[in-house]
Chains A and B, each alone.
Chain A
Amino acid sequence: MSAQRVDSQPAYVIHARPYRETSLLIEALTLDHGRVGLVARGAARPKSALRALLQPFVPLHLSWQGNGELKTLRSAEPAGMVRRPDGRAALSGLYLNELLQRLLPRDDGHPELFSAYVDAMQGLIFPESVEVCLRRFEMRLLDALGYGLVLDHEPLNGEAIVPEAAYDYDPHGGPRRTSAGLGLNLRGASLANMAANRFDDETTRADAKRLLRQVLRTHLGERPLKSRELFQGLAARKQV
């Protein structure tokens, strides 16, 4: 079988690390091929033009070839304007990238997930939308992985969600009505808002954060996210 060639694939770099003497090992999220591992030969040379380009947050068109786990990058071109993230956006971006690296297997294409990522990268630039941006991406990531949240009914008995009621959430079994103060203590209205993609209400945002953290923890397993440590380290300021 000849080496597969892929041309001008919309992509974002998730992570770059030095590889051998002068190369970089790139993890990229791409439109049709999902997460791919690429070797960028010579990209770590001091004067390489690729060095500045192969950074998270930069919309790219990547071309590569190869069949194995690691493919060879042939070219990288900027696709659209580069907006530099400020420090806070950068931290949030690192969090999203860690989620992808941990949860998304390589070479598994999810065009819908890519468009969720594009939305997130654009939203993170604006400080006021960072939190909502993270929640939306987390939900769309779970959808793409086949772990989508159930938000409109209780799978256990088929009953619709009551806005005034309180719910717990079983990561494998969906929402379950409880007396207030028990379990995750999510408001029914928050679940409905999340289903309708409405996050302007503060309680919804707080509920969504607790719920998604709980569900993501189930899928991430024992090892905690390193980037969460960073957010916790910034305890003095409002948490994302």
Chain B
Amino acid sequence: MSFSPLIDRLIDALRVLPGVGPRSAQRAAFHLLERDRDGARRLAEALVLAMDKVGHCNQCRTLSEAALCALCNSDRRDRSVLCVVENPTDVIAVDRGGAYNGLFFVLMGHLSPLDGIGPKELGLDGLDARLAESEVKELILATNPTVEGEATAHYIAEMARRHGVRVSRIAQGVPFGGELEFIDAGTLSQAIADRRAY
């Protein structure tokens, strides 16, 4: 059945959220209308503000409303190391680990010819220009260990070597606290192949 036009429109709009189908959209709509109109207004305001203001950091391309994101602007980060990741959420994941104190470059995707995504779409000309400025001494390739991720890493590595920048790729292997028995064959054979002196 359908509700009044405005309610229908709200339910329909809520379905843009990931994981929200017709049922949960309806639940959310009625919850907001019946119990939390203030919260809904704050949500609407936050949505409009974020959609209007949030763009990309000029330096690392991550999502940011400032021309330079907080990380790029920080004077406590090591500016000689640059870590290349696919998505803004990867920045948070790497940073959370605490082992990395350099800057990031966010591709917002990976090379994928079949999806029409090439170097231009990933802003690699910007990265090229940045490597040419020579502040960066080491580039860490932290693209995903998928075929597209490897191809992307290879492409960027060739680019960086032309500027004489040292290139490394994040290690792959067994997760801490994992049990060998439950690790997939591909990861395990990679871990054996890339074993190191101990």
Contact = CB atoms under 8 A, between A and B. Distances in A.
A17 interface: yes
A57 interface: yes
B113 A87 contact: no
B147 A56 contact: yes
B188 to A, nearest CB: 10
Interface stretch (B35-43, B96-104, B154-162, B173-181): B154-162
Interface in A63-91: 78, 81-82, 84-88, 90-91
Contacts of A147: none
B113 A86 contact: no
B147 A82 contact: no
Contact of B155 (A27, A95, A230): A230
A78 B188 CA distance: 14
A76 to B, nearest CB: 13
Nearest to A91: B151
A101 B154 contact: no
A123 B153 CA distance: 21
Given A94-B148, A230-B111, A84 B19 contact: no
Interface stretch (B1-9, B56-64, B69-77, B114-122): B114-122
A98 interface: yes
Interface in B136-187: 145-148, 150-151, 153-155, 157-158, 162, 184-187
Contact of B150 (A27, A87, A230, A237): A87
Nearest to A81: B189
A226 B154 CA distance: 16
Given A91-B151, A91-B154, A234-B158, A17 B119 contact: no
Interface in B92-138: 111-119, 124
A58 B162 CA distance: 32
Contact of B113 (A55, A82, A95): A95
A200 to B, nearest CB: 26
Interface string A206-230: 0000000000000000000111011
Given A52-B186, A55-B147, A91-B151, A229 B114 contact: no
A22 to B, nearest CB: 9
Contacts of B19: 21
A146 interface: no
Given A52-B184, A86-B154, A230-B118, A93 B147 contact: yes
Contacts of A93: 147, 151
Given A78-B185, A90-B150, A233-B119, A226 B113 contact: yes
Contacts of B80: none
Contacts of A227: 113
A236 interface: yes
A88 B112 CA distance: 14
Please classify the interface of chain B as helix (H, G, I), strand (E, B), loop, or mixed, using the class held by over half of its residues. Answer: helix
Given A49-B184, A230-B155, A90 B114 contact: no
A87 B186 CA distance: 16
A236 B189 contact: no
A176 interface: no
Nearest to A58: B186
B8 to A, nearest CB: 22
B194 to A, nearest CB: 10
A56 B149 CA distance: 12
Nearest to A97: B114
Contacts of B155: 87, 91, 230, 233-234
A58 B145 CA distance: 13
Contacts of B186: 52, 58, 82, 84
A52 B187 CA distance: 9
What 5 A-B pairs come out closest when comparing CB atoms?
A: A87-B154, A226-B113, A227-B113, A90-B151, A90-B150
24 contacts: A21-B18, A52-B184, A52-B186, A53-B184, A55-B147, A56-B147, A81-B185, A81-B189, A82-B185, A84-B150, A88-B154, A90-B147, A90-B154, A91-B155, A94-B148, A97-B114, A226-B116, A227-B113, A229-B118, A229-B119, A230-B111, A230-B155, A234-B155, A236-B162
